Amino acid sequence: MSFGKGARLHLIDGSAYIFRAYHALPPLTRKSDGLPVGAVAGFSNMLWKYILDQQGSEAPTHVAVIFDHSSKTFRNAIYPEYKANRPDLPEDLQPQFPLTRDATRAFNIACIETEGYEADDIIAALACKARDAGGQVTIVSSDKDLMQLIGNGVTMLDPMKNKLIGPDEVIEKFGVGPDRVVDVQALAGDSVDNVPGAPGIGIKTAAQLINEYGDLETLLARAGEIKQPKRRQTLIDNAEQIRISKRLVELDCDTPLDFTLESLEVKEPEAEALLKFLSEMEFRTLTNRVAEKLGAEAPAVVSAPPSDAPAAPEQPGIDTSLYQNTTDRAALDQWIADIRNIGYVAIDTETTSLDEMQAELVGISLSTAPGMATYIPVGHVAGGDDLFGQTQRVDGQMDLAEVLAALKPVLEDPAILKIGQNLKYDWKILARHGITMAPIADTMLMSYALNAGTHNHGMDELAERYLGHKTIPIKDLIGSGKSQINFGQVSLDKAGRYAAEDADVTLRLYQHFAPMLPTERVTTVYQTLERPMVPVLGQMEMSGIRIDGDTLKRMSNAFAQKMAQLEDEIYELAGEKFNVGSPKQLGEILFEKMGMAGGKQGKTGAFSTSADVLEDLAVEHDLPARVLDWRQIAKLKSTYTDALPTYVNPDTGRVHTSYSIAGAQTGRLASTDPNLQNIPVRSEEGRRIREAFVATPGHKLVSLDYSQIELRILAHVADIPALKQAFRDGVDIHAMTASQMFNVPVEGMDPMIRRQAKAINFGVIYGISGFGLSRNLRIPRAEAQAFIDTYFQRFPEIRAYMDRTVEDAKRDGSVRTLFGRRINTPGINQSGPAAGGARRAAINAPIQGAAADIIRRAMIRMPDAIAHLPAKMLLQVHDELVFEVEDGAVDDLINVARDVMENAAEPAVKLSVPLVVDAGQGMNWAEAH
DNA sequence: GCCCTCACG
DNA sequence: GACGTACGTGAGGGCT
């Protein structure tokens, strides 16, 4: 078909796709040969999504993907420094460029690049040509440099947000219409492309000037009339540079094209060629999706390495032929003999629930060598669909008590190592049956010591990564959702294969990780900070904490009433009923119906209604103020007063949280089901929820928490004399900071000043930025930046520490705490926005991590230290430990526990600042804290 | 299953 | 090339 009226041409900015894809995805490699393909994968996915999105009546008639050509362009002749400050391409991206061209052709889309021109030039020329021929043009890109082309039948489409960009959006961004965009860009310059522009003039000022004078040439001609002296001089001095800048950003229609518009006609993908490409790339999921859509058979995606491939990692595959269920005493005794002989065993328990405090043990699997594994079923019942809900025990199983009695000596034998994955789970299950497993090894914790920051440490992930083995998904056995059954209802056959595999995989992981601990220098971390946490946390979790359900119930009722009342007021103010809990509906009411200013839309196009935003609005309006009140109460009710009682264990009458040891990247614990590390305390109303965490009669709750532990660690590791001395003198650290920064005496200090210093102190720990501090303190960004500059001036050691830490991270790919804990920093050498986050995380990790190490050390020593007291350690909240202790022993407990906590760093590390622990006690957690 | 919001250190 | 932007978490409700 000839190109003319009615034709719709889509021009896809291929290079933008590639960079998006590259930065959005982890560095994937092709399994068979290690070829980096992450960007190609993302690129292909985006193209496929684009094709699916363009199926309607507005579908394009012509389409092309345009790429930058990897050579200098004519712009470098105009200005040699053009794009000179671009960082080098990542090593693993370069080889993917040709593959993205292959991908484009595989999708049967025209693929265009021209020596000496940027993609933008070709897009401009094509857009002009198509427009002149009477067609409609859509540029699929969000690149602001292309916005000058908008208008007269040319629009842009942001592929990520699937949002059209027209003249209005251009005005929003540049303050001028598309025809004046280049003028603004010429003035403002562009640091990314190294377009110089006029120094000191940004987009805002540029738009203002252009709007005032009409266009760039008029402005430059009449620059002498500008009132502001500095601005006037800048324009006069830099006129030539500004004109060069304009030529750099300007796109014209004259780029030579050696093909016709007709040749870009949309063609259906050819299933065979496309699927061949995708399967060769080994994109399993996409291959299957595309095959399904095109109604073709997906070719098998094989990733077997070519026979002559050199360093391809060995992928043994797991031979399951020797797995066998153990169902009689003789067979069990044989296994026990083998275990005693070899001195270790990998073990896994299968139960009816993920809640260790309620789970029923239904089987145990053991492994003594790769491929050598067994499952001992003890509690399986006939299928779950029995009409009368009766459970019929399945034949061919040993008696639970007999099995446990036979295994107990082995599991408690100090000469036999018990290896598990997330062994705290199994440790607790067995503890409930009177077996205290020791000694132990935990592959999850080994991976955590080695790989924190790189990936998570669940068995499925570890098996795939390190053994090249996909484990049987639990869903295949128990299903999911409503029809889910428990493991006890799984057939012995299936259960045996699954359970034996788990033990087998665990043993293989152990053999993989064990030799790496010393070579990676994390043995001490694993042995002193990870492994010992298993019995300590197991015991704490089993102890649980008592909760007063009646108090919570009363609070819930009061909250419900208050919410109803607020809802009435809110509806009245809004003039209609709506769901106050829906940010979407609320945003529409506030910013559309009521027309309040300050509506900011996020990437999903929804208005933000966060507390920040509502607080600003609440200054002038009642409705947002009411919503804030409602939100606070709704949160307290749903997350705490309503939810907590559902976690009370019917047998113990207490709440048993679960701590993940390897959940957080920094060494902190995380609490789940329920999370008892985020019980309210900051607001008066919220704090009352802590009144429902109560001591058993005759007991008290005691809370001990480290004072300013992270700042103390910072003072030590960054070696800041002023800070260290302040901690030794026991002075108010934030007041001291304020005094040093603003040259004011500590006596009679304005609380506002102290508050600002406090915010900066915290900011430093988090890898401070002017933006963040300004938002936190609600002050102008420049002011915040000035604070930070002053701070660094007064405490130059902090800057040095930050620089040093980032350098370490870049060099080693990881940072370490004082105690040797390694936190990997895989994103640190990236460029772009992710780098900022990675940098701050790297700065924070050694500080947060060392604090986590210290409280771990205290917790590990605690059980022995308080063994002589009628006291139990119940909870950890990052820098706080909560105990339950008999009334008469409160003071003793405080003395002992404080001593353990304050000296927890030693002897491994001798801190140059004291650690200080504050203590409180009471009938409930609110009083104790 | 993702997003938004908000609770904690 | 734009994107967000103080670090680390988990949970509940809305919405697709």
β partners of residue A110: A64
Whether pLDDT at A311 is above 60: no
CA A161 to C1' B5 (Å) is 22
Strand B–CB A848 distance below 7 A: yes
Q: What letter does residue A314 receive in the DSSP assignment?
A: P
Give pLDDT, residue A303.
Answer: 59
Return the structure tokens found at A188.
């403002």
Of A849, A884, A901, the one marking the end of a domain is A849
- How far is the C-alpha of A93 from the C-alpha of A38, rounded, in Å? 9
Whether pLDDT at A893 is above 50: yes
Residue A920: phi and psi, rounded to 5, are -145, 160
Closest protein CA to C1' of nucleotide B7, residue = A678
Strand C–CB A603 distance below 7 A: yes
Question: Are A101 and A246 in a shared domain?
Answer: yes
Closest protein CA to C1' of nucleotide B8, residue = A678
Closest protein CA to C1' of nucleotide B4, residue = A583
A130 touches A137 (CB < 8 A): yes
Whether pLDDT at A316 is above 70: no
- How far is the C-alpha of A9 from the C-alpha of A154, rounded, in Å? 9
Sign of CA dihedral A252, A254, A259, A263: positive
Domain contains A782: yes
Give pLDDT, residue A705.
Answer: 96
Question: A215 or A889: which carries more pLDDT confidence?
Answer: A889
CA A53 to C1' C9 (Å) is 37
Of A791, A816, A849, the one marking the end of a domain is A849
Question: Are A603 and A525 in a shared domain?
Answer: no
Domain contains A228: yes
Question: Are A366 and A227 in a shared domain?
Answer: no
Question: Are A558 and A527 in a shared domain?
Answer: no
Question: Are A563 and A527 in a shared domain?
Answer: no
Domain contains A880: no
- For strand C, the positions having any atom within 7 A of a protein Cβ are 1-16
Of A849, A883, A914, the one marking the end of a domain is A849
Question: Nearest nt (C1') to A844 (CA)?
Answer: C7
Domain contains A881: no
Whether pLDDT at A462 is above 90: yes
| A483-507: pLDDT as tens digits | 788 999 999 999 999 999 999 999 9
Question: Are A250 and A334 in a shared domain?
Answer: no
Give pLDDT, residue A835.
Answer: 83
Residue A317 neighbours by CB distance under 10 Å = 9
Domain contains A877: no
Give pLDDT, residue A42.
Answer: 87
As a dihedral over the C-alpha atoms of residue A542, residue A545, residue A549, residue A553, rounded to 10 degrees, the angle is: -110
Strand B-contacting residues in A 630-649, CB cut-off 7 angstroms: 631-632, 635-636, 639
Question: Nearest nt (C1') to A840 (CA)?
Answer: C7
Closest to A396 in 3D by CA, of A377, A409, A373: A377
| A201-258: pLDDT as tens digits | 888 889 889 988 989 999 999 988 888 888 888 888 888 889 998 998 999 888 888 8
Domain contains A781: yes
| A164-184: pLDDT as tens digits | 888 888 888 888 889 999 999
Question: Are A247 and A340 in a shared domain?
Answer: no
Concatenate the DSSP letters of all residues of A213-254 into one string. Answer: HSSHHHHHHTGGG-SSHHHHHHHHHTHHHHHHHHHHH---TT
CATH code, A637: 1.20.1060.10
CA A464 to C1' C1 (Å) is 35
Confidence label for A384 from pLDDT (cuts 50, 70 and 90): low
| A627-657: pLDDT as tens digits | 999 999 999 999 999 999 999 999 999 999 9
Mean pLDDT highest for which of A31-35, A270-274, A880-884?
A880-884
CATH code, A165: 3.40.50.1010
Look over chain A and give the mean of its residue pLDDT values, rounded to a whole number: 90
Question: Nearest nt (C1') to A635 (CA)?
Answer: B6
Q: Which pTM does this prediction carry?
A: 0.69
- How far is the C-alpha of A527 from the C-alpha of A641, rounded, in Å? 39
Give pLDDT, residue A191.
Answer: 77
Strand C–CB A760 distance below 7 A: yes
Closest to A37 in 3D by CA, of A257, A279, A228: A279
Strand C–CB A20 distance below 7 A: yes
CATH code, A726: 1.10.150.20
Confidence label for A727 from pLDDT (cuts 50, 70 and 90): very high
Mean pLDDT highest for which of A257-271, A825-839, A915-929?
A915-929
Strand B–CB A611 distance below 7 A: yes
- For strand B, the positions having any atom within 7 A of a protein Cβ are 3-9
| A779-815: pLDDT as tens digits | 999 999 999 999 999 999 999 999 999 999 999 999 9
Environment class of residue A697 by beta-carbon count within 10 Å: exposed (0-12), middle (13-18) or buried (19+)? exposed
What is the total count of domains within chain A? Answer: 4
Domain contains A151: yes
Question: Are A487 and A587 in a shared domain?
Answer: no
Question: Are A549 and A653 in a shared domain?
Answer: yes
Segments forming the whole domain that contains residue A506: 321-531
Question: Are A349 and A496 in a shared domain?
Answer: yes
Strand C–CB A673 distance below 7 A: yes
Secondary structure of A716-777 as H, E, C letters: HHCCCHHHHHHHHHCCCHHHHHHHHHHCCCCCCCCHHHHHHHHHHHHHHHCCCCHHHHHHHH
Question: Are A522 and A555 in a shared domain?
Answer: no
| CA-to-CA dists, residue A810 to A88, A116, A154, A172, A837, angstroms | 16, 35, 44, 38, 14
- How far is the C-alpha of A39 from the C-alpha of A595, rounded, in Å? 43
Q: Report the share of chain A in percent with pLDDT over 90.
A: 65
Q: What is the mean pLDDT of residues A567-584?
A: 93
Whether pLDDT at A601 is above 80: no
Whether pLDDT at A306 is above 70: no
Strand C–CB A832 distance below 7 A: yes
Give pLDDT, residue A310.
Answer: 37
Give pLDDT, residue A305.
Answer: 46
- The amino acid that residue A510 corresponds to is Y
β partners of residue A815: A823
CA geometry: angle at A807 spanning A806 and A810, to 5°? 85
Question: Are A597 and A516 in a shared domain?
Answer: no
Confidence label for A768 from pLDDT (cuts 50, 70 and 90): confident
Q: What is the mean pLDDT of residues A464-470?
A: 92
CA A354 to C1' C16 (Å) is 29
CATH code, A437: 3.30.420.10
Closest protein CA to C1' of nucleotide C12, residue = A639
Return the structure tokens found at A200.
């000191």
Strand C–CB A769 distance below 7 A: yes
| A404-420: pLDDT as tens digits | 999 999 999 999 999 99
| CA-to-CA dists, residue A843 to A98, A471, A701, A727, A785, angstroms | 38, 36, 36, 22, 19
Domain contains A653: yes
Question: Nearest nt (C1') to A776 (CA)?
Answer: C6
Whether pLDDT at A365 is above 70: yes
Whether pLDDT at A33 is above 80: no
Residue A736 neighbours by CB distance under 10 Å = 20
Closest protein CA to C1' of nucleotide B2, residue = A604
Beta strands in A126-245 (DSSP E): 136-140, 154-158, 163-165
